[in-house]
Chain A
């Protein structure tokens, strides 16, 4: 075991303001950043506020910015830093601070409510659903999302632009629209809901200019831009500019 003493800077404060605080703290072999934050709590700063839960990269609670990069603290190993390096941990920048590393992520819950839910096909009862694996693969990729909101935090549309928040759902919830749109049995269209159109008109897809920042920070490795946003954009564009294609697809689907 090769232990050493690391230099940490952790942002401490609340809605009124705050600053980086310096800590010297022990690091042991195999540890992750969240272990160090916990050690600070147990030994030096018992009231240091941090959100966490599973400590295994499955729940998406311990999101923060480590040396400026949005990451899960539980999945950031100390071995990626040199012992000499100062490690700076700050709260997610796109959301209002509550205290220390904890931010108010209510924006995301609000956006979640604005995406209409799965519409079950009226003609099928429970147990009657039949879907092929290759047809559910695409939506399943998006359902791997652990809602850590790192993509929401990093997306430049809202990161430093509070004013865009009302009109923009963010990558996570545009991906949710794509997920439902690609669900083989979602009956939204039959019920008069055009999900692709809402992505454009109601969830701000047009703000996205596919810089792939969201994909880069996704701890689940979901190809948000390539597999969710771009396909959604392509189809939204089809519909927006070519009503005949839209009408055609509608008729085809009905008669098949």
Chain B
């Protein structure tokens, strides 16, 4: 049917954020010809929005820090549901990944003795985040981007062509991973600018597409975050892990409405900012959960002393892990102690001199000044929870980042599950991107090289089917004339966001999630009629119509898993099951496509498209368990695990 342009590569990386670029650099440096494909312009990925820093136990600010302490903090933050081997590798390798960035030209803020400065962050025992003011993500993405350019410069010198070994296909979207039996054979994509389809043939595909936040109404995520990689993996037959865990960052902007959800960095609190309710009370002292009681200050005085003397005081509860703070803010607002626009107050103006605020938090100063007419050096900010990050994701092997069940498929970064357990600590995301981006690129290159000439061929039938699927929105009317009129993709998207926000949001209830599944089923049927006007050249309506498939699939995973897990843990809070249950710690929830062969044929609203199964997690290795006190472990582990 279609004559589609084809190119051959060893490794294709889908996504050009921190994980994707780091994977591409690694694959290319290991000799694989590597293509990167991304929806935005090169260098605009969502990673640029990361503000606070990269967590790595370099010990520059406090020499007591080491990988074991970082590992402990990460496990605590994730409420011990983390894929522990990932948490171990992450803690061990993060410092090397940060230092490596310096050799590629990154310029972090410095300590007095000229090393990389490290700042405090929620859930981290010591100051651990390498940072550049509050624009660390930008520094990360620019450094990786410039490293890629430098590799291309080398290739130019050698081969005369910048893109002979490493090419970035920018503003292109992958809609399908192609397969030959159980092996990856390439990807099907379209160029956003021209609308033209093309196929990249490759035995290795690294998915590094980030998160799913655009399925929620109030989110800090950009338009790209439509769960593409999660959906691509599902459609290729790979399972997703623990999709119920969605992080609501405690501090998003709440006013004006058009900026609702935009992130206010945790550095504001790390550097001394405090949360107050409408009565002027620092309410976080009332919300320290039992598992963290010994680690946090009991009085404002102690909390304040900690900034200067962390060895003899405990940290203020504003620096609890994000899930705790988000729930507390939610509860304060619900109890009628919120700010005028439905948030709480976050104040640095009474805590630091204006000039220190402007130096340490320049982007925040700028953001509030420009977008909300608020001078944060003179008044408090209004903030509230915003959908920020998904802990769940593609189930991967810890060491190789290989997806389960599909040979040649790898995943790294936010799209991969497991690393952060039920809740991610701030700063652990950027380090995750680097550690597992590198591992994914390494193993993808190794796998591709190992195949030599035995490469899986691309199946013409799959290419035609993918092209037909992508063209469907242009002929929405008349495909199934009896089922109803064409639907506006923008309207469908808004309804989806509202449903997920209201029914599967920060606090969850059984009845509401059942309602959400019904709504998702209805939207799924209507989305088949999503129609667009115009032609294929840079047509945002068409792009959205195609992205809807992904958002609907992923939203169903979130809702089904959230309904199944009858406890509260990390980024999953059930009003009807408010406590954390030790028995659930050993349970992973796995989502698979119900009918992987039939694509999106399933429109039966009751049956759904997603099958959910439970799996028992691997027991935590004894030497890692030994890093914790027994008294702490009893709070998390089931009886049997403790005796083993």
Contact = CB atoms under 8 A, between A and B. Distances in A.
Interface of A: 14, 28-32, 35, 41-43, 46-61, 75, 77, 98-100, 102, 105, 109, 112-113, 116-118, 120, 124, 126-127, 129-133, 136, 139-140, 143-147, 180, 183, 186, 221
Contacts of B95: 127
A212 to B, nearest CB: 20
Nearest to B115: A130
B292 interface: no
28 contacts: A28-B257, A28-B258, A30-B256, A30-B372, A32-B258, A32-B371, A42-B488, A43-B490, A46-B541, A48-B540, A51-B41, A55-B259, A57-B371, A58-B138, A58-B363, A98-B193, A99-B538, A117-B146, A118-B104, A118-B146, A118-B150, A129-B103, A130-B113, A130-B115, A131-B107, A132-B110, A132-B114, A140-B107
Contacts of A28: 257-258
A29 B109 CA distance: 38
Given A46-B488, A143-B139, A41 B257 contact: no
Given A52-B223, A133-B109, A61 B490 contact: no
Interface in B155-199: 156, 162, 193
A53 B222 contact: yes
Contacts of B135: 58, 144
Contacts of A126: 96, 99-100, 102-103
Contacts of A109: 42
B224 A53 contact: yes
Contacts of A144: 135, 138
Interface string B211-239: 00000000000111000000000000000
Contacts of B152: 113
B603 interface: no
A232 B58 CA distance: 35
B128 interface: no
Nearest to B47: A59
Given A46-B488, A61-B44, A56 B257 contact: no
Nearest to B493: A42
Nearest to B171: A51
A102 B170 CA distance: 14
Interface in B237-263: 255-259, 262-263
A87 to B, nearest CB: 16
Contacts of A49: 537-540
Nearest to A148: B44
Interface in B30-52: 40-44, 46, 48-49
A147 B316 CA distance: 38
Given A29-B257, A48-B540, A55 B146 contact: no
Given A50-B540, A120-B103, A127-B99, A136 B110 contact: yes
Contact of A35 (B146, B258, B370): B258
B540 A41 contact: yes
Contacts of A57: 366-367, 370-371
Contacts of B371: 30, 32, 56-57, 75, 77
Contacts of B100: 126
Interface size class of B (residues with CB under 8 A): 35 or more
A56 B104 contact: no
Contacts of B58: 127
A46 B532 contact: yes
Interface of A (DSSP majority class): loop
B153 A116 contact: yes
Contacts of B532: 46-47
Contacts of A61: 40-41, 44
A54 B224 CA distance: 9
A28 B260 CA distance: 13
A53 B539 contact: no
B540 A56 contact: no
A133 B110 contact: yes
Given A30-B257, A61-B44, A113-B153, A55 B222 contact: yes
B121 interface: no
Interface in B78-120: 95-96, 99-100, 102-105, 107, 109-110, 113-115, 117
A41 B132 contact: no
A139 B494 CA distance: 42
A54 B538 contact: no
B542 interface: yes
Nearest to A50: B540
A254 to B, nearest CB: 22
The 5 lowest CB-CB distance pairs between A and B, nearest first, are: A30-B256, A118-B105, A117-B150, A47-B534, A46-B541
A143 B147 CA distance: 14
Given A117-B146, A132-B110, A47 B533 contact: yes
A132 B109 CA distance: 9
| Most chain A CB atoms below 10 A, which of B110, B258, B262 | B258
A99 B257 contact: no
Interface in B242-288: 255-259, 262-263
B525 interface: no
Contacts of A47: 532-535, 539-542
A244 B507 CA distance: 72
B560 interface: no
A60 B491 CA distance: 27
Contact of A98 (B162, B257, B538, B541): B538
Contacts of A51: 40-41
A55 B224 CA distance: 12
| Most chain A CB atoms below 10 A, which of B41, B153, B222 | B41
A42 B105 contact: no
A99 B263 CA distance: 31
B142 interface: yes
Given A116-B153, A133-B110, A140 B132 contact: yes
B149 interface: yes
Contacts of B149: 112-113, 117
Contacts of B262: 55-56
A52 B192 CA distance: 13
Given A117-B149, A118-B150, A31 B256 contact: yes
Contacts of B49: 54, 56, 58-59
Given A132-B114, A140-B132, A56 B263 contact: yes
A99 B107 contact: no
Interface in B368-425: 370-372
A41 B539 contact: no
A56 B146 contact: no
Nearest to A132: B114
B113 A30 contact: no
A126 B534 CA distance: 52
A67 to B, nearest CB: 18
Given A32-B371, A46-B532, A55-B262, A143 B223 contact: no
A78 to B, nearest CB: 9
B538 A100 contact: yes
Contacts of B258: 28, 30-32, 35
Contacts of A105: 41
A143 B109 CA distance: 12
Contacts of A118: 104-105, 146, 150
Contacts of A42: 488, 490-491, 494
Contact of A53 (B40, B153, B257): B40
Given A118-B150, A147-B43, 15 more contacts: A48-B540, A56-B49, A56-B262, A57-B371, A59-B40, A59-B48, A75-B370, A75-B371, A98-B193, A124-B103, A126-B100, A127-B95, A140-B133, A144-B138, A146-B138
A180 B149 CA distance: 14
Contacts of B42: 109
Nearest to A1: B257
Contacts of B156: 113
